[in-house]
């Protein structure tokens, strides 16, 4: 084999290894904390986008009954309870997010069609609400060319466990309407992973703290 051929083979193998590594990392980011069963389950909101181009399912177990977790879910949103993530990071881009440390009674009853803002000029709408089990938001980010280039659902589902704890599953689904959308969504999904895993931990911390204080759950 010539020197040039050997270089070509090394480049090809190196590229394949890099691709395999990226693919493996991507798969893990898209299912952080989720079990195999949770990946295959049809969750609330899935019927709205039956053939998505991208799905992310992330989960956490919370040592609190679902009735104690639900209030933190249902009050999310800019100008509401926030998102329990990195407020300082979101506010660098002018999102004006302030994550609540207490349950806010005025934001406990969203209705179908209500706007839940991600930022002052960006909102999703409540597509489904089933207290205290599921909240599904739907929408997309408009572009200068007009409407959103993708449809999007953001679902929060709570499931009780035999020991009294709660499983929280957050699922994102994207259905592209333009060929170039993957080039935009894939990088955003990395940011979404960072923020979602922090949101899961933020909800867990809050719900477990208030539950311990009330003496309702002895983990």
Rounded to two decimals, the pTM is 0.84
Find the range with the poorest average confidence among 19-28, 62-71, 195-204. Answer: 19-28
Contact by Cβ (8 Å): 82, 76: yes
What per-residue confidence (pLDDT) applies to 196?
A: 94
Q: What is the mean pLDDT of the chain?
A: 85
pLDDT tens digits, one per residue of 94-126? 788 999 999 999 999 999 999 999 988 889 999
What per-residue confidence (pLDDT) applies to 187?
A: 83
């Amino acid at each position: 084999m010539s020197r040039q051929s050997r270089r070509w083979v090394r480049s090809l193998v190196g590229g394949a290894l890099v691709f395999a590594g990226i693919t493996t990392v991507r798969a893990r980011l898209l299912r952080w904390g989720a079990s195999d069963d949770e990946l295959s389950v049809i969750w609330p909101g899935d019927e709205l986008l039956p053939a998505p181009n991208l799905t992310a399912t992330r989960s956490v177990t919370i040592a609190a009954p679902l009735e104690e977790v639900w209030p933190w879910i249902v009050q999310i949103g800019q100008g509401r309870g926030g998102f329990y993530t990195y407020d300082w990071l979101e506010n660098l881009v002018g999102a004006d997010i302030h994550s609540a440390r207490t349950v806010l009674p005025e934001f406990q009853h969203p209705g179908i069609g209500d706007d839940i803002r991600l930022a002052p000029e960006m909102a999703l709408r409540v597509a489904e609400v089933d207290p205290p089990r599921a909240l599904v938001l739907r929408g997309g980010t408009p572009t200068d060319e007009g409407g959103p280039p993708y449809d999007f659902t953001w679902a929060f589902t709570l499931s009780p466990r035999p020991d009294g704890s709660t499983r929280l599953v957050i699922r994102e689904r994207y259905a592209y309407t333009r060929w170039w959308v993957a080039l935009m969504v894939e990088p955003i999904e990395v940011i979404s992973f960072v923020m979602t895993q922090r949101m899961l931990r933020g909800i867990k911390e809050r719900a477990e703290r208030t539950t311990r204080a009330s003496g309702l759950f002895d983990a």
